Amino acid sequence: MASGSAADVWSRWIAAQGGDPDEAALPTAPVVREVASPRAGHVVRLGATAVGIAALHLGAGRASKEDDIDHAVGVVCHRKRGDAVEEGGILAEVHAHDESAADAAVEAVLAAYELSETPPAARPLVLDVLR
């Protein structure tokens, strides 16, 4: 078995498929907007479907198989369930091609986050064992 760091393995894997593992090779969106928390608290829920639909509207996904994917746009979530955040702290980042698309995505992503004063109850890593 080959040894090396995860980054080395990742780079070799991408290169073996004819890709360039350098992040600078990826296209970048002209508008990057931070999604700031409206208040301090803990993330108790993050609606993955809502974030995915926001990314889809930015062009990061396909509504139909004929649609192109824009690799420059999307949503980067910086806070997940259970994370504490301060008022004004960054929950996520929206990468868009224009201000109006960024505005709509920021609103949608912010609505996908549910904050509470108290952290959510821990969830087990293993829900059940099937035999």
- The pLDDT tens digits for 62-92 are 999 999 999 999 999 999 999 999 999 999 9
Asked if the structure places residue 30 within a domain, the reply is yes
pLDDT digits over 19-53, tens only?
Answer: 998 888 889 999 999 999 999 999 999 999 999 99
Asked if the structure places residue 69 within a domain, the reply is yes
Asked if the structure places residue 129 within a domain, the reply is no
pLDDT digits over 44-70, tens only?
Answer: 999 999 999 999 999 999 999 999 999
Residue 103 confidence (pLDDT) above 70: yes
Asked if the structure places residue 90 within a domain, the reply is yes
Residue 2 confidence (pLDDT) above 80: no
pLDDT of residue 124: 86
Q: Which long-range contacts does 69-73 make (Cβ < 8 Å, 24+ apart)?
A: 70/27, 70/97, 71/26, 71/27, 72/26, 72/27, 72/28, 72/29, 72/97, 73/29, 73/97, 73/101
pTM: 0.82
Q: What CATH number should be reported for the domain holding residue 73?
A: 3.90.1170.30
Question: 13: which 2 tokens?
Answer: 């894997």
Q: Given the DSSP bridges, would you call strands 31-36 and 90-96 parallel, antiparallel or unpaired?
A: antiparallel
Domain count, the chain: 1
Confidence of residue 1 (pLDDT cuts 50, 70, 90): very low
Range of the domain at 56: 25-116
Residue 85 phi, psi dihedral angles, 5° rounding = -145, 145
Confidence of residue 125 (pLDDT cuts 50, 70, 90): confident
pLDDT of residue 127: 86
Confidence of residue 3 (pLDDT cuts 50, 70, 90): low
Asked if the structure places residue 19 within a domain, the reply is no
The whole-angstrom separation of Cα 117 and Cα 92 is 19
